[in-house]
Structure 1
Amino acid sequence: MSLDDLEETMTANYTALGEETTVGLDPETRNELAMLSAAMGTDTDELLRRGIHALFQQAVRSGDLDFHLRTGYDVTYDEYLAGRTYEEMSGGDRYPERDEDRQYTM
């Protein structure tokens, strides 16, 4: 897979999510969400948004996101943000033409 494949998947997932999504909660998660809501005085929708942001940031900082992106798409999050791979940025995907006549000329 490639950067283009990741961008296509991201677009498809973003579109599929829409504005709202429903998630079934197990008793433990429901209990933890109720406790956080009571303690912080924040509604559950806001806590869920914050939870996703926190999980995302932790995955970025720990390198877990890059690991999964490299495994699935052979790119990193930085490459995704830049829209180019490191190889494309450094010119490593282009080799200079060989000049056989000047091959060993200094």
Structure 2
Amino acid sequence: MSLDDLQADIEDEYTDLGDEVGVSLDRETRNELAMLNAAFDPDDTDELLRRAVHMLFQSAVETGNLTFHLRSEYDVTYDEYLSGMTYDEMTGGNQFPQQQQKDDRRYQF
């Protein structure tokens, strides 16, 4: 997979999500959400869920967890995704490929 594959998958997922997502809650999640609603008294529960997604995303970025999963699946990092190019493309590493053949003649006189 590549940076282009990641971009295409993100666009597909974004389209599939639409504006609203129906989420079923297990007992523990419902209890925790009720506690957060009582404590923070948001205008609606949706606001807490939006905050939760933001916090999970930020945590995954800061801990490197997101990059780990992106590297495993797409062989790119989050920084590469943000810049729109891989590290090799940034540093020019793919502009001047090294010869793969062994050249012993350069040490002969």
Q: TM-score, normalised by structure 1?
A: 0.89
Aligned residues: 99
Shift of 1:96: 6.9
Task: Tell me the amino acid that sits aligned with residue 44 of structure 1.
Answer: T
Report the identity percentage. 63
Alignment partner of 1:24 is 2:3: no
2-structure distance, mates of 1:96, 1:72: 25
Aligned pairs for 1:51-90 (under 5 A) are 51-90=52-91
Distance 2:60 2:70 in 1: 11
* CA distance 1:96–1:9, change in 2 (3 Å): closer
CA offset digits 1:45-81 (Å, max 9, x no partner):
0000000000000000000000000000000001001
- Taking the aligned partners of 2:55 and 2:97, their CA distance within structure 1 comes to 45
> What's the secondary structure of 2:25's corresponding residue?
coil
Aligned to 1:40: 40
State the 1:97 CA deviation.
Answer: 9.3
CA–CA separation in structure 2 for the residues paired with 1:75 and 1:61: 16
Structure 1: give runs of 5+ residues left out of the alignment: none
**Aligned mates of 1:96, 1:86 — CA distance in 2:** 14
Match status 1:12 vs 2:5: no
Q: CA distance change for structure 1 residues 70 and 97 in 2, over 3 Å: closer, same or farther?
A: closer
* Runs of 4+ with >6 A deviation: none
Cα distance between partner residues in 2 of 1:26 and 1:60: 26
